[in-house]
A and B are shown apart, each in its own frame.
Chain A
């Protein structure tokens, strides 16, 4: 019986080639999208799961309440991990880690920057790493031990054995004790090397007594079925006992939330990457549904042709169930074929997709997770696409069908129209969303950043370069290539330092202002191209060290009228405000600019920033910088960054979303158009005689095209009316994420409306044209 079902299904599909190809194309695109999204979503959901203690690892973080302004902070004090290690049976292990930061590694002649994290000795008891050489139990126990990832080891030692070799990092020799596999892409913790805190190090000994300043991450491994509330209470008690800190509330975050739920606002978790996981899962289902709807529509539209077959089968004794099974077999076979084609497509497109999303995904067809997913997709598609046609077609009354009094397809017209409207609603939504996301990114890119990032190059400074800054600056200016040079404590593209407001005269006692800060040398505004709104920049005179500049946002937040000349008290220091600068977008381009204080410092800078003269080849300048660094800071690696490129990185997430919605919207619309074309050709087939009659009566080709197109344009119009408020609501909510955002304007929907109308006209016209220009004699032959 099953063999017969398959045979008949196969014959039906191969006989109706147009129908089969249309559906196969739609379903293949749909399933290919679904597979890619499935791989991406799976990778996101699998984050950190390779850790064998995944379920029992937690990070300790804190909500810090600065005068009702709650920040969620991962930075913990140094001794916390140690205190948690003992005395708490619920906690099996506690490990700390410094931030991962690029450090200069030196071995022989090879000098490279590698991302290093300094961690507690029992790190590998908690986190799973694949050891290639060395022993996880002892790798970090000895002072000055160093664990390298495989590619880091290779970059220094090639194929030679790195164990026991010494690498110089920050003038200290560390001994390689182990080599581990590179961290997988789906690990939250990323680094290229690990070293251990050495208990004998005087700095570490000092840090062990430091219960105020916090800049370390703390992780705990709990016993099975831990009482998290009790653990959190214990942590809070330890902290309070040591520093009487009243503003912080400590809590733990399980490893399964690190990657997907990393956003906090006002001390509450607001999701994070999980939103995109959800969004793309929905998009995958929608695209698959659009393809299924095509199948449903074309099948029922084709029903007139199949009505006779159903009638004969029923007369010959086929039950409804058998017919339903028959039709299901057809859709399942089609879905299976589409899936096979999709696998080929996925293999071919995988490299492009990986470079788009910045992941290293691969398709393993033997993977049970994949097989389950595949089974679900095939079944979902087959059943979804086949259900309506199967139920509809099998319900035909055989007597009516065979007598010819049955107008097949009539009762399916309304559901079919509803489905087409649904498809259009989704298409309109996707086009509009794409447009709005694009406009939002452009809007932010066009925002006045408050400085000129063109021709601006940042050079990460070194202690030697900092010491010789004046000479370097002098040489740069003498070269004729450089217009201005300054140095700062942090890059112009980021804020490294935040603090509650300095006090000033008239400051309200409940002031909630949080200030950003940056320390600069002279020529700050000139180099960066920042507008000085009032007062003056630092002049390099001794009084500079008691001077400060504010930005416009600070002046506005402080509600002062004449800021220049006013006194600010910060710590033990007193500063006079000498100037007000324009707002500079240093962090998120989507957020408003925070109040900023700029104060003077002529040493300890992290970045030298250089403005090139107009028309200078950047490479020429870079060659000069290289030469100067080789002269003044010969032991260090020379690096440079173009400020506009660094700034551009702030758009990576949004641009990825933008590209993905572009692609998915394009594909969804394409699938819709295929379905539309198919439906139009069926409509024309059905109305062929009518077209002939109208032609005989004098209708022009244009009038006939309009006649058929109107039928679809009406549906587009309904879809438009449904889609606009829906899109507006959803995109309005999305835009609320960004403080600096566009308003959705009517013309955007206007463009989308015109676009979708044109598209419908073109698709329908192309299909109608042959019928409209055909000789009407053919359609009117009554014999």
Chain B
């Protein structure tokens, strides 16, 4: 499989004329302006652009954490743009994993418990949970840290835990918001390798990044400016 022929070729995400506004009393800011993008199953897409161009807004909408004001968002053939909060949450917890720049691990929970959380929320039985958490911790090579708390880990290790948490539910899509932003280059590379591995095993990945270096790991870069897609680079 060559780099620009990925997945099974079916469309996972199709957004059309998507709009998102932020209003205050006096000004209305357009975060997304009639944006249309299509992402195929199994793709690894990087989204780039200057601060305030709408990258994070787009990621939040794709992750069903936020809903668009106008336009259509079809996920795996289902129109979700105007889904209720509940339906979105349900779709999200079974299909999407998140990786954040600041890791967003819960300080009061151990590595194991952090990774276990998504399984609890999808109702996986306890024995099964232990098995799957151990499996993924092993894969991320942080099994030996399972009983540590996030503060006791290095940044790189924390991000591994965050990725482990994102994949433990075997999501079809991983959304990563500047996953290496808080890491040094060596740890950053490790994380990118991990994401690439996951992608190669079939997970679709959409990553927001400022780093051209990281973006090179992807198949395609979508560049945003003022809420619009201005350029797409296919990586060769």
Contact = CB atoms under 8 A, between A and B. Distances in A.
Nearest to A689: B104
A699 B106 CA distance: 14
A448 B44 CA distance: 85
Nearest to B151: A407
B93 A698 contact: yes
B220 interface: no
Given A698-B121, A703-B121, A693 B104 contact: yes
Nearest to B107: A690
Interface in B128-156: none
Contacts of B63: 696
B222 to A, nearest CB: 20
A242 B184 CA distance: 110
Interface in B186-205: none
Interface stretch (A53-61, A211-219, A775-783): A775-783
Nearest to A693: B104
A781 to B, nearest CB: 8
Nearest to A700: B89
Interface residues of A, number: 19
B225 interface: no
A621 to B, nearest CB: 69
A414 interface: no
Given A698-B89, A782-B102, A777 B65 contact: yes
Given A780-B100, A780-B104, A782-B102, A698 B65 contact: no
A703 B122 CA distance: 12
B66 interface: yes
B32 to A, nearest CB: 14
A316 interface: no
Interface string A699-741: 1100100000000000000000000000000000000000000
B117 interface: yes
A697 interface: yes
B102 A776 contact: no
A711 to B, nearest CB: 11
With a 10 A CB-CB cut-off, give which of A694, A697, A777, A782 has the most chain B CB atoms.
Answer: A697
B117 A694 contact: yes
B98 interface: yes
Contacts of A781: 56
B92 interface: yes
A699 B66 CA distance: 16
B160 interface: no
Nearest to B90: A698
Contact of A782 (B89, B101, B106): B101
Contact of A694 (B60, B92, B106): B106
Contacts of B92: 696, 698
B65 A696 contact: yes
Interface in A653-700: 689-690, 692-700
Nearest to B108: A690
Nearest to B85: A773
Nearest to A695: B89
Contact of B66 (A694, A700, A777, A782): A777
Interface string B48-81: 0000000010001001011000000000000000
Nearest to A696: B98
B60 A697 contact: no
B207 to A, nearest CB: 15
Contacts of B102: 782
A782 B210 CA distance: 15
A697 B121 contact: yes
B118 A698 contact: yes
Contacts of B60: 777
B117 A697 contact: yes
Contacts of B105: 693
Contacts of A698: 89, 92-93, 118, 121-122
Given A775-B66, A777-B60, A697 B118 contact: yes
Contacts of A773: 85
Instruction: Sort A-B residue pairs by CB-CB distance and give the 8 closest, nearest first.
Output: A698-B93, A698-B121, A782-B102, A697-B118, A693-B104, A777-B60, A777-B65, A697-B117
Interface of B: 56, 60, 63, 65-66, 85, 89, 92-93, 98, 100-102, 104-108, 117-118, 121-122, 165
23 contacts: A689-B104, A690-B108, A692-B104, A693-B105, A694-B106, A694-B121, A695-B89, A696-B63, A696-B65, A696-B104, A697-B93, A697-B98, A697-B117, A697-B165, A698-B118, A698-B121, A698-B122, A775-B65, A777-B66, A780-B100, A781-B56, A782-B100, A782-B102
Given A696-B63, A703-B121, A780-B100, 10 more contacts: A689-B104, A694-B121, A696-B65, A696-B92, A697-B93, A697-B98, A698-B118, A775-B66, A781-B56, A782-B101
